[in-house]
Amino acid sequence: MDEAKQPEPIESEPKESTASRIQRREAEIALAMKEEAARRAAVVKNMHRLRALRLSQKLYDQIEAAEQKNDSNTTQALTKQADALVANLGPEYPKMIEGLEQVDLTSGEGKEFLSILSGLDKLCTK
């Protein structure tokens, strides 16, 4: 009678020691916490930018009202405040506004930009 062949033992990888497993897990946790902190910092930065955008929009409305009343002192003071807020939005914001002046707003690209800006306007009115 043929004896059933026993499977050959598989050579296993050396087992990880408890200390190295703990060290590896701690490193993974530290990395995850660092990534989460970076994500939260980005969210806070974006919230500050959105707040500055909201405030600048309100200031521009006030500037327009002051200009209609020919109140140059108020216009100048509000313009300085708005410029300071826009500076907090980052260097991309003024470049974007300047670039929008060169875009045909009736084109596909222009309509896409208007859609994006409309979404921002909705966030700014909340």
pLDDT of 75 reads: 92
Q: Does residue 8 lie in a domain region?
A: no
Structure-token match 């596909």, residue found: 108
Structural domain range at position 40: 18-124
Q: Does residue 13 lie in a domain region?
A: no
- Contact between 67 and 75 under an 8 Å Cβ cutoff? The reply is yes
- Contact between 98 and 117 under an 8 Å Cβ cutoff? The reply is no
CA distance linking residue 7 with residue 12, whole number of Å: 14
> What's the total number of domains in the chain?
1
Per-residue pLDDT of the chain (126 residues; tens, 9 = 90+): 455 666 665 656 667 789 899 999 999 998 988 888 888 877 777 777 777 777 777 888 899 999 999 999 999 999 898 888 877 777 777 777 777 778 888 888 888 888 887 777 676 655
- At 8, list the tokens: 């050959």
Could you tell me which residues come within 8 angstroms of residue 120 by beta carbon, excluding any fewer than 6 positions away?
53
pLDDT of 65 reads: 93
- At 96, list the tokens: 């974007």
pLDDT of 9 reads: 58
pLDDT of 52 reads: 75
Q: Give the predicted TM-score (pTM) of the model.
A: 0.45
Q: Does residue 90 lie in a domain region?
A: yes
pLDDT of 7 reads: 63
CA distance linking residue 58 with residue 52, whole number of Å: 10
